[in-house]
C-alpha cells in the first residue's frame, strides 16, 4: 500500500541530540534531530527499494503549513533526492499536517486505497490551535483507511516525553485507530533510531513469500504489496495470511460479480528454491524464465477459457480470496490475488465458502443416488423477498394519504373492468384487507365497502352491473367463492380476524383454506356504512 | 456483537394508543379522466349514461382517521422493512407488545428465523425475521383492547413489565450467538458468552392517565435496575447472555395538538449509567414517520442517496420520456462520507444476469458493496427502477465531483436483491510488470487449452447447507492412494464440500505435465482421451475399466500396425530415435500416469493390463520408470531429456508427497505367473492384432478366476497394510 513519509520541519528539529559530546566536538558535527530524520528516512527508503519494489512512496514535510515535497512515486531515487533538501520552518502545526495528508491522498487515490503513514517527529507538542494537544482532542478521522507509524525522535530524558507519547497515541486513535509509536529505548542516537527503522520495516514492509497450490501443482509466489494480518474490531480475533494459498476450484467471473475485497495484491511467481533446475541453473536468470511455472500456465488458461473464470482459494484459516487475470492499459497482463474480508460468510451471493464444492462431484453423487436434484448455482439466494419486489404481492405502504388513495383507486379500476379483472380485483382486495387488519385500521374497510357499493350503484354499463353485485353483495354465491379460492393466498389462520371484519364483501380465509363469510345482510351493511 | 444487531421494539398495546391520531385522511377515488379512460373502454361506449349518473351519486366519502396504534404499527413495519431489506439476516428485530393496563406482555417473534410455537416446534415456513411474519403477528394481536378494567391505572407498572420483558429478550442469544457458543463448546473452550449489546425502542403514550406521576427519569432508573438484575440472572444461567451495552429510545406518541399532555420531555441521547443510555422523544402522528426514519438511519448507520436523471418512458406516451429521481437507503460504506449523494444515471448495461458488473469478463476493483432499498417503495419511479435492476440489469452511476464525471457506483442485482457496488477510482495496481516477464514467462508451449478444460471440470457450486450430512463419508479417505495427507484429521474435514474440492484437485493433478513438450502422453489425446479422464476418477466401474483396457489395446494395435511411429509431433523425440524407443517412451509415461492415479483396486487392474500388454511386446519386464527414464535421459538430445526430466520430477514429487502410497510400497517389476508368460511368449513372434489381444485377455481372466490364483499378490498384501485399500480389496475377494 502507498506510503507517505512525513518529516517534521519545525524549528525544534534543529536541536542537537544528547549532551554527552565533549567540548572537542564541533557544534556542526553534533547530529541534530533533523540529521537523524534524514538518516532514518534514507534507511527506510533503502529497505523499501530493496524489498518492496512496487511500493508508491510520497514525501511530505510539515511545520506551520504542510508541503508535499514529492508526490507518490515508485522511483525512490526521487525521494532520496528530496530528502536532501528537507527544509526547516517554524512552529509545529498538526492541523496543517492532517489536512495536508488528506488532500494528498484524496487527490491521488480517492478514499478507498489504504495508506501507510510514517511520521518522523521530535515529539514536540506545539502551542495553541493546531498543536498536538488540540488535534488529539478534536482531530477528525481520515476519510480513507490508514495506518500511522510514528517514529518519535524524543529523548526519553526529555521532560515532555511522557505527555508527548500519550498525545501521539491519541493522534493515532483519533485519525485512523491503527498504528504504532516507535521510541528510542535509552538515548536518542543514530544507532537506536536505526533499530527502530528495522523494527518498522520488519513489521510492515517484509515481502511475502508463499506458495500457490492447486492439488499437486504449485508455484512459489510473492504478493505486492505484502498482505497484512487482519484484526477484527469486534472480538479482537486475529487472522493471519497463510503461506500456502490453496486453490479450491474455479468460479465464473459473472458469478463472482466483483465483490468488495479487503485487499488486492499482484501475484508474482518466484523461482523455486529447491533443486528443480538441476543441470540448468548455471545459465543464470535466463533459466528462470525457461522453467515451466504453474502461475504462468494458470494465467494463460484464465485468458483463453471460453468463459471468464477466476480461481477461488483459501488464504488462511476461515479466510478466502480469489485470483484473476488483470491487464492494465499498457497490455501487460498479470495475476491479481484479491483477499476477501476474513470469515466464511462474507459475500452473500457466494454463500458460505465452506459449502463451495465441485460441480462434477455433486452431479456424479446425485446420479449415483438416483436423485434428480437441480444443480445449485450462483447467486446464493437468501430467504425472504425484498419489499421492492412486486411479485406475488406488492408491498403496501399507507404512510401517506396518497399511498392509501392509490390503492383504493387501483381496486376501483379493477372493479370497473370485471369480470376480466376478477383475479386482480380479489388480489388487491385481499391485500388491502390484510394490511388493514395488521394495522388495526378497521374504518378503512368500511370506506372500501362504501366505495365499491357506490361504484355498483353508479355503474350503468350492463356488464359491470351484472358482475359487481355477486361480488359485492352476495358473497354466498358459488361464483364468488370459486373466484376467491382460486386467486387468494391464504393470509391468516385466526378466528380473531373474523370479528374484525365488519363487512360481507371481505371474504375471510380460515386455517383450513375455506372461506367463511359474515352473513351480514345488505341492509345491515348499509346501516353500518352510513 | 454491535449495538445494532439486536433491537427490541416495545409497543404499548393498551387503550391509550387507541385514541384517534387527529389527522384526517381524505378519500379520493380519482373520479373521471385519466384512470378511467386508461381502463381500455372506449369513451363513447360507457359514455353518456355513466356521466349522467355521476350527477346523482354523491362523490364524497367521509374522511377516515387512523388511531395512534395504526400509526405506530405502520411505522414499526416500515422500520423493519428498511432493516430487513438492507441487512437481511444480519440485524434482528423483535417486537414486544405490552398491555400497560394489564401488565401483560406478548412477543410477536423471536430471534430465530424459523417460525416456532411456544414449545419451540417449527410451525409453517415463514421467516420470523420477515415482514410477512410480523404483519401476520400484528393482525393476530389486533387493535388494543378497549376494555376499561384497569389494574394498573395511573402507574407505570405495566410499562415497567414491558421494559423488563424487553431486557429479558435482549439477553436471549440470537442464532449467531448460539452458533458461537456451540462452536466454542465443541472445541472444548467451555462456556464462552459472546459480547451482547442491544437497543430497545419503546413506543407508548406517556400521559398522566397512562403512567401517572412517573417521570422519564423514573423509567430510566428502572431500566438500569432491570439490566443489572437481568445480568445477574444471565451470569448464573448457561443460556442467557449478560447485556454489556444497552440503549433505550422512548417515543411518547400523542394525538395531534395534544403533545402537551405528555409527562415526559424530549431529550437527546444521554448516559444513565456507564452501560445504559437513553433518549426520549415526544411526537405527534404527523411527525412519527420522520422520527422513525431518523432513528432507523442513526441506529443502522444508513445513508440516503439519490439516483438522478433516470429516463423513464411515460405510460401514456411511450415515445417521450422524462427524467426522474429515486432516493434510496443504503448502509454507510467504510469509504463514503456522511452526506447524501446524488448519483447520476450513466450507463445501463444491456447484458442481463450480473455480467454488466464485469464488462468483458474483467473483475472490477470494488471497494465496498451494500444492499439498497427505495425510500418510497411504491412510488412509480422507484418500482420502475427496482424492476429494471431486479430483472438482471446493472446500471453504472456517475458521482459528480470536481474532477469531472466518473462512473464509480453500480446498481446491480444479486439473486433478487438490489445492491450498490462502489468501485475504486484508482488503486496501486497500475503499471505492473507482466507475468511473461517473470519466472517461466518465456515458455510458449504451456498446455493452456488442457488447463482451460481442467478449469471447466473443476467449477465450484454452492452446495446446499446440510448436504454433506446426508452423504456417506467421502470415499477418497478409504481409498488410500495418495491421500494420506488428511487422513489423520479427516472426520470433520471430510464433511465439508470445500474439502471435497481440495481432494478432487489433488486427485486430478497427480500427473499433470505443465508443457506440451513435457509429455508425449497428452499429445496422444485423440487416441486415449477416455483413459486419461477415467483414470483420474476416484472409482472405476467395470465398464470404465473395460474402456481403459480398450484404449491400451488400441495403442498396442497402433503400434502393431507396422512401421508407424507414435502419432505425435516429431518434436517430442530426439532425432534418430528408434521407433521402438519412441513407443517405449509413450508406455513409460502411460505407466507413470496410471501409477500416479492408483485410487482403487480397479485402477490397479488397468495398470496390470498395461503391464501385461507390454510384456507381450518386450521380452524384458517393465522396468522401474525412474530407471528407464534416467536411462533415456542420459543418452538424450534436448527433447528427450526434457521429457524424462519432467517425468522424473513428477515421480519425485509423488514419492516425496506420498511416502506411504502403494506406488513405492510395491515393487516395480512384478513377476509374471508362469502360465501366462508361456502363452504370451508364443505370441511374441508374430505381433498380435487387437482380436488376439482381446482373446488372450479374456482367456487370462478366466484362467485367473478358475485357479483362484492372484496376480500380483504382493500388491494386495501391501495395500492391505493400508487402511485405505483394505476395504476394496476385500470386496474383490468376495
For every residue of B405-460, DSSP letters joined together read: --EEEEEEESSS-EEEEEE-SS-S--SPPPGGGSTTTT---B-HHHHHHHHHTTBE
Q: Which residues pair with B404 in a beta bridge?
A: B401
Higher-pLDDT residue of B567 and B633 is B567
Give pLDDT tens digits for B247-285. Answer: 999 999 999 888 888 888 889 999 988 889 999 999 999
Highest mean pLDDT out of B438-452, B518-532, B597-611: B438-452
Higher-pLDDT residue of B414 and A25 is B414
Instruction: State the CB neighbour count (10 A cutoff) for residue A338.
Output: 25
Chain B contact set for A441 (CB, 8 A): 66-67, 70
Highest mean pLDDT out of B52-56, B81-85, B179-183, B552-556: B81-85
CA pair distance A314, A354, nearest whole angstrom:
10
Banded pLDDT at B701 (limits 50, 70, 90)? low
Percent of chain A clearing pLDDT 70 (strictly above): 79
Q: How far is B460 from chain A (nearest CA, A)?
A: 5
Q: How far is A160 from chain B (nearest CA, A)?
A: 33
Say whether pLDDT at A521 is over 60. Answer: no
B76-105 residues labelled b (16+ CB within 10 A) or e (exposed): bbbbbbbbbbbbbbebbbbbbbbbbbbbeb
Q: What is the pLDDT of residue A322?
A: 94
Which of A330, A388, A412 is closest, CB to CB, to B377?
A388
Chain B contact set for A258 (CB, 8 A): 357-358, 363-366, 421, 423
Q: What is the pLDDT of residue A375?
A: 83
Give A340's DSSP letter: P
At B246, phi and psi to the nearest 5? -150, 140
Banded pLDDT at B350 (limits 50, 70, 90)? low
At A69, phi and psi to the nearest 5? -75, -35
Q: Is A513 on the interface with B (CB under 8 A)?
A: no
Highest mean pLDDT out of A106-110, B521-525, B608-612, B652-656: A106-110
CA pair distance B206, B154, nearest whole angstrom:
10
Say whether pLDDT at B117 is over 70. Answer: no
CA pair distance B378, A395, nearest whole angstrom:
7
Per the listing, cell 465443541 goes with B186
Which value, to the nearest 10 degrees, does the dihedral of the CA atoms of residues A331, A335, A341, A347 take?
80
How many Cα atoms within 13 Å fall on the side-chain side of residue B604?
Answer: 24
SS3 state of residue A455: helix
Chain B contact set for A219 (CB, 8 A): 439
Domains detected in chain B = 3-17+67-299 (3.40.50.410), 302-423 (no CATH), 448-733 (no CATH)
Higher-pLDDT residue of A54 and B203 is B203
Q: Do A260 and B73 touch (CB under 8 A)?
A: no
Q: Is A289 on the interface with B (CB under 8 A)?
A: yes
Instruction: Sort residue B96 into left (φ over 0), alpha (ψ -120 to 50) or beta.
Output: beta
Q: Which residues pair with A223 in a beta bridge?
A: A267
Q: How far is A138 from chain B (nearest CA, A)?
A: 18
**Mean pLDDT of chain B, nearest integer:** 74
Nearest CA in chain A to B40: A417
Q: Are B582 and B565 in contact (CB under 8 A)?
A: yes
Q: Is A294 on the interface with B (CB under 8 A)?
A: yes
Higher-pLDDT residue of B580 and A203 is A203
Q: Are A387 and A395 in contact (CB under 8 A)?
A: yes
Give mean pLDDT, residues A468-486.
Answer: 32
Q: Are A242 and A317 in contact (CB under 8 A)?
A: yes
Chain B contact set for A386 (CB, 8 A): 84-85, 373, 416-418
Chain A contact set for B361 (CB, 8 A): 253-254, 307-308
How many Cα atoms within 13 Å fall on the side-chain side of residue B560?
Answer: 22
CA pair distance B368, B359, nearest whole angstrom:
18
Give pLDDT tens digits for B321-330. Answer: 788 999 999 9
Give mean pLDDT, residues B136-150.
Answer: 78
Among B148-157, B200-209, B216-225, B521-530, the minimum mean pLDDT is found in B148-157
CA pair distance B664, B683, nearest whole angstrom:
31
Rg (CA), chain B: 38
Chain A contact set for B498 (CB, 8 A): 248, 314, 353-357
Say whether pLDDT at B480 is over 60. Answer: no
**Mean pLDDT of chain A, nearest integer:** 77
Q: What is the pLDDT of residue B569?
A: 66
Chain B contact set for A255 (CB, 8 A): 354
Which of B65, B130, B353 is closest, CB to CB, to A443?
B65
Q: What is the pLDDT of residue B692?
A: 66
Which three cell numbers mark B316? 401514456
User: Taking Cα atoms as reference points, which of B97, B104, B167, B81 lies closest to residue B138?
Assistant: B97
Per the listing, cell 510539515 goes with A62
Q: Do B335 and A434 touch (CB under 8 A)?
A: no
Burial of A388 (0-12, 13-18, 19+ CB in 10 A): buried
Instruction: State the CB neighbour count (10 A cutoff) for residue A232.
Output: 12
Say whether pLDDT at A280 is over 50. Answer: no
Q: How far is A83 from chain B (nearest CA, A)?
A: 23
CA pair distance A308, A326, nearest whole angstrom:
12
Rounded to the nearest 5 percent, the helix, strand and coil shares of chain A are: 40, 20, 40
CA pair distance A336, A263, nearest whole angstrom:
10
Q: Which distant-in-sequence residues (6+ apart) come within 8 Å of B301 by Cβ?
A: B4, B331, B332
Which of A322, A360, A492 is closest, CB to CB, to B136?
A492
Say whether pLDDT at B238 is over 80. Answer: yes
Banded pLDDT at B202 (limits 50, 70, 90)? very high
Q: What is the pLDDT of residue A490?
A: 31
Helix (H) or strand (E) holding A480, with range, is: helix A478-487
CA pair distance B598, B611, nearest whole angstrom:
14
Say whether pLDDT at A314 is over 90. Answer: yes
Q: What is the pLDDT of residue B165?
A: 92
Higher-pLDDT residue of B336 and B493 is B336
Say whether pLDDT at A290 is over 90. Answer: no
Q: Are B212 and B154 in contact (CB under 8 A)?
A: yes
DSSP E strand stretches across A283-403: 309-316, 319-327, 333-339, 356-358
Helix (H) or strand (E) holding A147, with range, is: strand A146-152
Q: Are B585 and B517 in contact (CB under 8 A)?
A: no
Q: How far is A328 from chain B (nearest CA, A)?
A: 7
Rounded to 5°, angle at Cα B479 from B473 and B484? 95
Give B712's DSSP letter: S
Banded pLDDT at A175 (limits 50, 70, 90)? confident
Nearest CA in chain A to B641: A279
Sign of the alpha-carbon dihedral angle for A43, A46, A52, A57:
positive
Q: Are A76 and A233 in contact (CB under 8 A)?
A: no
Say whether pLDDT at B484 is over 80. Answer: no
Highest mean pLDDT out of A103-112, A290-299, B3-12, B647-656: B3-12
Give mean pLDDT, residues A493-502.
Answer: 28
Give mean pLDDT, residues A484-500.
Answer: 29
ipTM of the predicted structure? 0.78
Q: Are B601 and B540 in contact (CB under 8 A)?
A: no
Give mean pLDDT, residues A64-90.
Answer: 89
Which three cell numbers mark A115? 495508506
Say whether pLDDT at B95 is over 50. Answer: yes
For every residue of A62-118, DSSP letters joined together read: ESSSEEEEEEEES-HHHHHHHHHT----S---HHHHHHHHHHHHHHHHTTSS-EEEE
Q: Which residues pair with B25 in a beta bridge?
A: B64
Banded pLDDT at A124 (limits 50, 70, 90)? confident
Q: Which residues pair with B10 in a beta bridge?
A: B96, B202
Say whether pLDDT at B93 is over 90. Answer: yes
Amino acid at each position: 500500500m502507498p506510503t507517505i513519509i512525513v518529516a517534521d520541519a519545525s524549528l525544534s528539529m534543529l536541536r542537537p541530540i544528547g549532551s554527552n559530546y565533549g567540548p572537542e566536538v564541533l557544534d556542526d558535527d553534533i547530529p541534530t534531530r533533523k540529521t537523524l530524520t534524514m538518516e532514518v528516512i534514507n534507511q527506510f527508503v533503502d529497505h523499501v527499494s530493496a524489498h518492496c519494489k512496487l511500493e508508491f512512496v510520497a514525501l511530505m514535510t510539515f511545520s506551520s503549513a504542510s508541503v508535499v515535497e514529492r508526490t507518490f512515486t515508485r522511483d525512490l531515487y526521487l525521494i532520496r533526492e528530496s530528502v536532501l533538501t528537507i527544509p526547516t520552518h517554524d512552529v509545529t502545526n498538526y492541523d496543517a499536517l492532517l489536512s495536508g495528508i488528506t488532500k494528498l491522498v484524496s487527490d491521488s487515490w480517492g478514499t478507498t486505497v489504504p495508506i501507510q503513514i510514517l511520521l518522523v517527529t521530535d515529539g514536540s507538542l506545539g502551542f495553541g490551535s493546531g498543536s498536538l494537544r488540540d488535534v488529539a482532542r478534536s482531530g477528525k478521522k481520515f476519510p480513507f483507511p490508514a495506518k500511522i507509524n510514528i517514529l518519535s525522535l524524543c529523548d526519553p530524558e526529555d521532560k515532555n516525553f511522557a505527555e508527548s507519547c500519550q498525545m501521539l497515541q491519541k493522534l493515532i486513535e483519533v485519525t485512523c485507530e491503527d498504528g504504532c509509536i516507535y521510541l528510542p529505548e535509552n538515548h536518542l542516537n543514530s544507532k537506536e533510531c536505526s533499530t527502530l527503522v528495522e523494527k518498522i520495516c520488519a513489521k510492515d514492509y517484509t515481502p511475502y513469500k508463499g506458495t500457490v497450490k492447486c492439488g499437486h501443482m504449485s508455484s512459489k509466489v510473492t504478493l505486492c504489496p505484502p498482505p497484512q494480518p487482519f484484526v477484527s474490531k469486534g472480538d479482537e480475533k486475529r487472522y493471519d495470511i497463510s503461506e500456502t494459498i490453496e486453490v479450491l476450484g474455479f468460479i465464473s467471473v459473472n458469478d463472482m460479480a466483483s465483490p468488495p475485497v479487503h485487499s488486492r495484491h499482484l501475484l508474482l511467481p518466484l523461482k523455486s528454491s529447491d533443486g528443480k533446475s538441476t543441470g540448468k541453473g548455471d545459465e543464470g536468470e535466463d533459466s528462470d524464465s525457461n522453467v515451466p511455472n504453474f502461475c504462468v500456465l494458470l494465467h494463460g488458461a484464465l485468458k483463453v477459457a471460453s468463459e471468464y473464470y477466476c480461481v477461488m482459494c483459501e488464504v488462511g484459516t476461515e479466510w478466502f480470496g480469489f485470483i484473476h487475470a488483470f491487464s492494465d492499459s499498457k497490455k501487460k497482463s498479470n495475476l491479481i490475488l484479491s483477499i476477501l474480508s476474513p470469515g466464511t460468510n462474507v459475500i452473500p451471493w457466494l454463500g458460505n465458502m465452506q459449502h463451495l464444492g465441485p460441480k462434477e462431484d455433486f452431479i456424479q453423487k446425485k446420479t449415483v443416488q438416483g436423485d434428480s436434484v437441480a444443480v445449485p448455482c450462483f447467486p446464493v439466494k437468501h430467504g425472504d423477498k425484498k419489499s421492492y419486489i412486486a411479485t406475488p404481492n406488492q408491498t403496501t405502504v399507507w404512510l401517506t394519504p396518497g399511498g392509501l388513495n392509490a390503492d383504493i383507486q387501483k381496486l376501483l379500476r379493477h372493479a370497473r373492468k370485471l369480470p376480466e379483472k376478477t383475479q386482480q380485483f380479489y388480489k388487491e382486495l385481499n391485500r388491502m384487507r390484510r394490511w388493514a387488519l395488521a394495522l388495526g385500521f378497521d374504518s378503512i374497510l368500511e370506506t372500501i365497502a362504501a366505495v365499491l357499493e357506490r361504484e355498483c350503484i353508479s355503474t350503468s354499463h350492463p356488464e359491470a352491473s351484472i358482475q359487481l353485485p355477486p361480488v359485492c353483495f352476495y358473497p354466498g354465491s358459488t361464483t364468488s367463492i370459486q373466484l376467491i379460492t382460486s386467486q387468494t393466498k391464504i393470509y391468516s389462520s385466526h378466528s380473531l380476524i373474523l370479528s374484525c371484519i365488519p363487512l360481507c364483501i371481505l371474504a375471510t380465509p380460515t386455517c383450513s383454506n375455506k372461506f367463511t363469510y359474515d352473513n351480514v345482510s345488505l341492509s345491515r351493511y348499509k346501516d353500518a356504512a352510513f | 456483537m454491535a449495538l445494532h444487531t439486536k433491537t427490541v421494539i416495545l409497543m404499548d398495546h393498551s387503550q391509550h394508543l387507541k385514541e384517534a391520531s387527529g389527522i384526517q385522511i381524505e378519500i379520493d377515488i380519482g373520479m373521471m379522466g385519466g384512470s378511467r379512460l386508461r381502463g381500455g373502454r372506449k369513451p363513447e361506449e360507457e359514455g353518456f349514461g355513466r356521466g349522467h349518473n355521476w350527477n346523482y351519486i354523491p362523490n364524497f366519502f367521509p374522511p377516515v382517521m387512523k388511531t395512534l396504534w395504526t400509526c405506530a404499527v405502520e411505522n414499526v413495519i416500515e422500520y423493519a422493512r428498511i432493516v430487513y431489506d438492507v441487512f437481511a439476516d444480519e440485524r434482528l428485530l423483535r417486537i414486544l407488545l405490552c398491555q400497560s393496563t394489564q401488565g401483560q406482555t406478548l412477543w410477536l417473534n423471536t430471534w430465530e428465523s424459523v417460525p416456532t410455537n411456544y414449545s419451540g416446534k417449527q410451525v409453517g415456513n415463514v421467516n420470523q425475521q420477515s415482514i410477512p411474519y410480523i404483519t401476520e403477528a400484528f393482525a393476530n394481536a389486533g387493535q388494543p383492547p378497549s376494555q376499561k378494567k384497569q389494574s394498573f391505572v395511573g402507574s407505570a407498572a405495566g410499562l415497567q413489565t414491558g421494559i423488563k420483558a424487553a431486557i429479558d429478550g435482549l439477553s436471549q442469544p440470537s442464532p449467531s450467538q448460539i452458533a458461537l457458543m456451540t462452536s466454542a463448546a465443541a472445541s472444548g473452550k467451555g462456556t464462552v458468552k459472546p459480547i451482547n449489546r442491544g437497543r430497545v425502542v419503546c413506543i407508548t403514550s406517556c400521559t398522566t392517565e397512562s403512567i401517572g406521576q412517573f417521570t422519564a427519569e423514573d423509567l430510566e432508573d428502572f431500566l438500569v435496575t432491570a439490566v443489572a438484575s437481568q445480568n445477574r440472572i444471565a451470569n448464573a444461567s448457561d443460556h442467557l447472555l449478560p447485556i454489556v451495552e444497552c440503549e433505550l429510545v422512548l417515543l411518547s406518541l400523542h394525538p395531534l395538538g395534544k403533545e402537551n399532555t405528555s409527562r415526559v420531555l424530549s431529550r437527546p441521547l444521554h448516559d444513565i449509567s456507564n452501560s445504559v443510555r437513553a433518549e426520549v422523544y415526544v411526537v405527534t402522528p404527523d411527525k412519527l414517520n420522520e422520527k422513525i426514519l431518523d432513528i432507523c438511519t442513526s441506529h443502522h448507520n444508513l445513508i440516503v442517496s439519490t439516483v438522478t436523471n433516470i429516463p423513464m418512458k411515460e405510460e401514456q406516451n411511450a415515445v417521450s420520456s422524462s427524467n426522474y429521481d429515486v432516493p434510496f437507503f443504503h448502509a454507510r460504506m467504510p469509504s463514503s462520507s456522511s452526506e447524501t449523494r446524488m448519483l447520476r444515471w450513466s450507463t445501463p448495461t444491456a447484458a442481463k444476469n450480473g455480467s454488466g458488473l464485469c464488462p468483458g469478463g474483467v473483475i472490477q476493483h470494488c471497494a465496498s458493496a451494500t444492499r439498497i432499498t427505495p425510500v418510497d417503495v411504491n412510488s412509480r419511479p422507484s418500482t420502475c427502477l427496482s424492476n429494471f435492476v431486479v430483472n438482471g440489469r446493472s446500471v453504472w452511476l456517475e458521482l459528480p465531483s470536481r474532477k469531472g464525471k466518473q462512473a464509480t457506483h453500480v446498481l446491480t442485482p444479486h439473486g433478487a436483491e438490489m445492491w450498490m457496488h462502489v468501485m475504486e477510482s484508482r488503486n496501486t495496481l497500475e503499471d505492473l510488470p507482466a507475468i511473461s516477464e517473470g519466472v517461466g514467462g518465456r515458455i510458449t508451449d504451456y498446455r493452456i487449452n488442457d488447463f482451460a478444460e481442467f478449469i471447466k471440470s473443476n467449477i465450484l457450486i454452492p452446495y446446499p447447507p446440510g448436504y454433506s450430512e446426508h452423504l456417506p463419508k467421502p470415499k477418497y479417505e478409504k481409498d488410500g492412494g495418495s491421500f494420506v495427507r488428511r487422513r489423520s484429521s479427516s472426520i470433520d474435514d471430510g464433511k465439508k464440500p470445500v474439502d471435497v474440492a481440495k481432494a478432487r484437485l489433488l486427485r486430478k493433478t497427480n500427473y499433470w505435465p505443465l508443457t506440451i513438450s513435457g509429455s508425449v502422453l497428452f499429445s496422444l489425446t485423440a487416441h486415449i482421451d477416455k483413459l486419461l479422464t477415467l483414470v483420474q476418477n476416484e472409482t472405476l466401474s467395470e465398464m470404465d475399466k473395460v474402456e481403459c483396457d480398450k484404449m491400451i489395446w488400441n495403442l498396442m494395435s497402433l503400434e502393431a500396425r507396422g512401421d508407424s511411429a507414435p502419432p505425435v509431433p516429431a518434436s517430442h523425440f530426439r532425432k534418430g530415435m528408434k521407433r521402438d524407443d519412441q513407443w517405449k517412451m509413450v508406455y513409460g509415461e502411460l505407466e507413470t500416469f496410471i501409477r500416479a492415479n492408483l485410487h482403487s483396486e480397479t485402477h490397479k487392474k488397468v495398470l496390470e493390463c498395461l503391464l501385461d500388454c507390454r510384456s507381450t511386446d518386450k521380452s524384458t519386464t517393465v522396468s522401474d520408470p525412474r530407471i528407464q527414464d534416467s536411462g533415456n535421459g542420459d543418452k538424450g538430445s534436448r527433447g528427450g531429456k526434457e521429457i524424462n526430466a519432467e517425468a522424473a520430477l513428477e515421480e519425485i514429487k509423488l514419492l516425496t508427497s506420498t511416502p506411504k502410497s502403494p506406488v513405492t510400497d510395491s515393487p516395480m517389476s512384478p513377476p509374471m505367473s508362469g502360465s501366462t508368460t508361456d502363452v504370451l511368449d508364443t505370441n511374441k513372434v508374430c505381433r498380435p492384432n487387437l482380436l488376439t489381444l482381446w482373446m488372450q485377455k479374456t482367456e487370462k481372466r478366466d484362467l485367473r478366476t478358475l485357479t483362484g490364483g492372484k496376480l500380483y499378490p504382493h500388491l494386495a498384501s501391501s495395500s492391505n497394510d493400508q487402511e485405505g485399500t483394505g476395504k476394496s480389496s476385500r470386496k474383490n475377494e468376495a
